[in-house]
Structure 1
Amino acid sequence: MTELISDELPITRQTPFDPPAEVTEIREKARVSRLRFSDGHLGWLVTGHRQVREVLGSPKFTTNPNEHHLLDVRFQDEAPPERREVQPGMFLNQDPPDHTRLRRMLQGQFTVRRMNQLAEWIGTIVDDQLEHLRSFDGRADLVKEFAMPVPSLVICALLGVDYDERHRFQEDTAKLLSLESTFKEAMAALARIQEFMGELIVRKRAKPGDDMISDLLATGEPTDEEAANMALLLLLAGHETTANMLGLGTFTLLQHPDQLKILKDEPEVLDNAVEELMRYLSIIHFGPARTAAEDVEIDGHLIRAGDTVVVHVPVANRDPEKFPGNPEELDLRRPASGHVAFGHGIHQCLGQQLARIEMRIGFSKLFAAFPDLRLDVAPDEVPLRTDMGIYGVHSLPVAWSS
């Protein structure tokens, strides 16, 4: 089989809501192709929806970062050459049986039933934040005053983190996710967040509360280091991802007034609308990465043990083989289930039900409270998070009739 080889992975977006056009063109030529990494390694790029699910669902691939080749040349000369053990509790970077043991400790906290029970409480948080937004008398930055605070308040309360201490992790989270940070700067930011979480674990051991971390510690299973890193992952994922979906999703709906009208007029589409926004936006630039632990065949291509594979979730979520009827367009009525925006397989996002509830409540209440919400700047003046690991908007200036 003739293989398409790319010498680099395009990351420049031509429009705010679409993945790079060059990657879409690669998918149309070959849903599994070769990709040359910055260290010279000839690995793989997977862009088809079915093929991405195969990679993410296969036990023949490892998530251990020590096994991966690096795409990012910034880290190539700075990363320590020796292998390092994956830090205890960092279950995103661990394979079974360690991953299985750690994830099992948290799974009961994130059941659909338990998350649905939180809906009324989350609605109150959203209502309070909308009242705060209204106090700005007609114009505000939606990211700063709504999209970021809502999921931050939710995850802080669930984990038992004092919201007033958010500066201890939000600034360093931004440094950790910035594509402009050096390896040393990113690792220093991570170390500071870990220090904060370590202090939190000590406090929870001494004085448990009604929160997820206290419940986790009460099981007697995790070590303090494991608990701190597990809580860290939940904290970072729990506010950054949903915040950027709320911000970028609002920008998207304001730029698609026909779809916004559907959201407002047809409440029965709300659940699917969230799935379609997740599919359409897929707020990462590319990834995640896996490395073959043994030889494995994907779509007729033999991937050798040691080969690193980068899957491209945004382009896979636009694959017409899975989503017929012009998947390049936003259509809130389109059946959007089966997207891979939350991943797939054993590493599928643990908090996806919480994120869905926050988005359903957030979008519906926002546009009900501010029916004439509009951009307060030209669309091309909205600052995009092209410089961050998680895509979105840095700010979203909006206006409304006060």
Structure 2
Amino acid sequence: MLNINVRTSVMAWLGRKYLPRLQGNGFDLSKLTFLPATTLAPLRRHGLDPVPELARTRVSAPVSSLPLPFGLTAWLVTGYDAVKAVLGRPDGFSSDFTHLQRNVGVVARHSPGGLGFSDPPAHTRLRRLLTPEFTAHRLARLTPRIHAIVDERLAEMAARARDGRPVDLVQAFALPVPSLVICELLGVPYADRADFQRLSTARFDLYDGADASFGAISDSLSYLLDIVAGQRRAPGDGLLGRLIREHGDEIGDEELAGLADGVLTGGLETTASMLALGTLVLLRDPEHFALIRDGGTRGGADAAADGNARDGVVDRFVEELLRYLTVVQVAFPRFAREDMEIAGVRISRGDLVVCSLSGANRDEDLGPGMERFDPHRGRVPSHLAFGYGIHRCVGAELARMELRAAYPALVRAFPRMRLAVDPAALSFRRLSIVYGVDALPVLLNP
């Protein structure tokens, strides 16, 4: 999904800067709970929905002051048009990591690198190297493996379910599918899947504070530098091997590790969260479940027409899920390069701007009833689940391929699947950039 490599929240960055000072005064910034509720609202939800405060803020002021301590001027952007105005202006806003180091005081063992925290011309050069690997032609080679990986996971789940006990869909399906697909894409051993999952997940959940998030980022880059060194010695058939063979010394090891980290973090935790939360949407509404299970098949139609109908139903379902869930809740932060006005609000050079993707994707400017999930919804403006502008997710189509393959296969393999617990008992992430559910216990054959 989004190329959000090592994306973290402004609250975590503030924690990194002021942690020693405040802990000395008896505060523990690791929990971030001292910040105002309005500041934390973009990272909180009620079940699958953004907290109501976010919608109220969007209606009253699509660009509003983001209350932060220590005199830092920051803005929260929640309106659809306003978010596009910010994300679509690389000339007016910078994403470069050095701004966080200089203005916010971020300290890290490694600069994140990759696409997410870079500006043109460096971003342009790196994106030019990576984009060919995500064309429809290149990705087509992964289609059989994606379907095989999904089928393998379903078979293992079926074997596990024979005793009638619940299966955790997160651990059994939602995490392994994108993990194995990314191993296939990068060309690294499947044995590394557990490390991939750990390094991807830890950075996004901020409930344990800034130190855990930054530690996971540095661990990931150190780990991937070792992978890159091995690929330098013997380039494989995956993305890293091809980049090394085609570009050689034109791209350095740290740049390769940053790109790999972007693929890992942008395509693993996000897709896993979509698979788990999307399944929850299916399970809470039998009509939606039947829609994907049956796929819009029509009696008497020829096979090709049936196939097209099924594809169309699933495609619309996936796009509406992407909009409705928007698991990546905020875009990586921008710093204003100059004085400007967005949605009637004056933003000064050097101000920090945080865009709420989950807020923008519920904006009524897209159409009526955006707070509801509606797989039958007519055409609406493009959602922002993959971001917008030059930093839009380079792997968006890969994410779609996985979701389109996984949902129909899952509900057809287990047509009577249901939740094994009361929905109220589910545990969701409490303060997270990438929203998700901790576990999803299901009965596959009740």
Output the CA distance in 1 between the equivalents of 2:50 and 2:435.
11
User: Which residue among 185, 190, 210 is the counterpart of 2:212?
Assistant: 185
The one of 271, 277, 281 aligned to 2:325: 281
- In the alignment, which residue of structure 1 is the partner of 2:415? 371
Q: Counterpart of 2:345 in structure 1: which amino acid? A: H
Instruction: Give the % identical residues.
Output: 39
1:164-243 aligned at under 5 Å gives the runs 164-218=191-245, 219-220=247-248, 221-243=250-272
- Who is 1:154 aligned against? 181
Aligned to 2:281: 252
Which one-letter code corresponds to 2:211 in the other structure?
A: K
Aligned to 1:16: 47
What is the rounded CA distance, in whole Å, between the counterparts of 2:386 and 2:332 in structure 1?
Answer: 11
2:43·2:432 contact (CA, 8 Å) conserved in 1?
Answer: no
Structure possessing the higher relative contact order (Cα contacts under 8 Å, 6 or more residues apart) = 2
Shift of 1:171: 2.2
Letter in 2 for 1:264: R
**CA separation of 1:41 and 1:187: change in aligned 2, threshold 3 A:** closer
Cα separation, 2, equivalents of 1:41 and 1:276: 36
State the SS of the aligned residue for 1:167.
Answer: helix
Structure 1 residue 206 displacement after superposition: 1.2
Q: CA 1:53/1:36 → structure 2, altered by over 3 Å: closer, same or farther?
A: same
TM-superposition CA deviations, 1:16-74 (whole Å, max 9, x none): 1110100100111121222222333232111111111111001210112443599xxxx
Matched, 1:91 2:135: no
Match of 2:363 in 1: 319
**Cα distance change on mapping 1:56 and 1:12 into 2, 3 Å:** closer
| Structure 2 gaps, min length 5 | 1-35, 297-309
User: Contact conserved, 1:175 with 1:181, CA < 8 A, in 2?
Assistant: no
Q: Which residue of 2 aligns with 1:355?
A: 399
Of 58-67 and 338-347, more deviation after overlay is shown by: 58-67
Q: From 54, 59, 82, give the equivalent of 1:28.
A: 59
Q: How far off its partner does 1:295 sit?
A: 1.7
Structure 1 residue 110: Cα displacement: 0.3
C-alpha distance in 2 between matches for 1:143 and 1:276: 21
Aligned pair 1:63/2:95, yes or no? yes
Residue 226 of structure 2 aligns to a residue whose secondary structure is: helix
Q: Per the alignment, do residues 228 and 68 of structure 1 end up closer, same or farther by CA in structure 2, a change over 3 Å counting?
A: closer
* 2:154 partner amino acid: L
**Which ranges of structure 1 fall in alignment gaps of 5 or more residues?**
71-75
**Residue among 76, 101, 104 paired with 1:45:** 76
Q: Match of 2:9?
A: none
CA distance, structure 1, for counterparts of residue 101 and residue 363 of structure 2? 26
**Secondary structure, in 3 states, of the residue corresponding to 1:310?**
strand
Structure 1 moving runs of 4+ over 4 Å? 11-14
- 8 Å contact 2:338–2:348 — kept in the other structure? yes
**More displaced stretch, 51-60 vs 34-43:** 34-43
Q: For residues 316-353 of structure 1, what are the alpha-carbon distances to aligned partners after superposition, in whole Å with 9 as ceiling and x for unaligned?
A: 1011111x231111101113550001000000001110
**2:297 equivalent to 1:297:** no
Please name the residue that 1:123 is paired with.
Answer: 147
TM-superposed CA distance for 1:109, in Å, is: 0.4
Provide the residue aligned with 2:390 in structure 1.
346
Corresponding position of 1:401: 445
The structure with the greater share of residues assigned to helix is 2
Secondary structure of the 2:327 match is coil
Q: Which amino acid aligns with 2:244?
A: L
Match for 2:322: what amino acid? M
- 2:314 pairs, out of 267, 270, 281, with 270
Superimposed CA distance per residue, residues 109-130 of structure 1 (whole angstroms, 9 cap, x where no aligned partner) = 0012332442222111111111
Question: Contact 1:64 / 1:86 at 8 angstroms: preserved in 2?
Answer: no
Q: Secondary structure at the match of 1:93?
A: coil
The letter of the residue matching 2:216 is A
Given that 2:175 and 2:197 are in contact with CA atoms closer than 8 Å, whether structure 1 keeps it comes out as no
Contact kept, 8 Å, 1:193 with 1:232, in 2: the verdict is yes
Q: Secondary structure at the match of 2:321?
A: helix
Distance 1:224 1:297 in 2: 40
What's the CA shift string for 1:92-125, capped at 9, x where partnerless?
Answer: 1000000000111110000123324422221111
Distance 1:348 1:281 in 2: 17
Counterpart of 1:45 in 2: which secondary structure?
strand
Q: Which amino acid aligns with 2:76?
A: L
TM-score (norm 1): 0.90
For 2:169 and 2:356, the matched residues in 1 are separated by: 29
CA distance in 1: counterparts of 2:43 and 2:390, whole angstroms: 30
Deviates more, 1:182-191 or 1:266-275: 182-191
Q: Amino acid of the residue matched to residue 248 of structure 1?
A: L
Q: Which residue of 1 aligns with 2:371?
A: 328
* CA deviation string 1:284-326 (max 9, x = no partner): 343432111112222222211111111111111011111x231
Secondary structure of the structure 2 residue equivalent to 1:243: helix
| Structure 2 match to 1:73 | none
Could you tell me how far 1:7 is from its partner in structure 2? Answer: 6.1
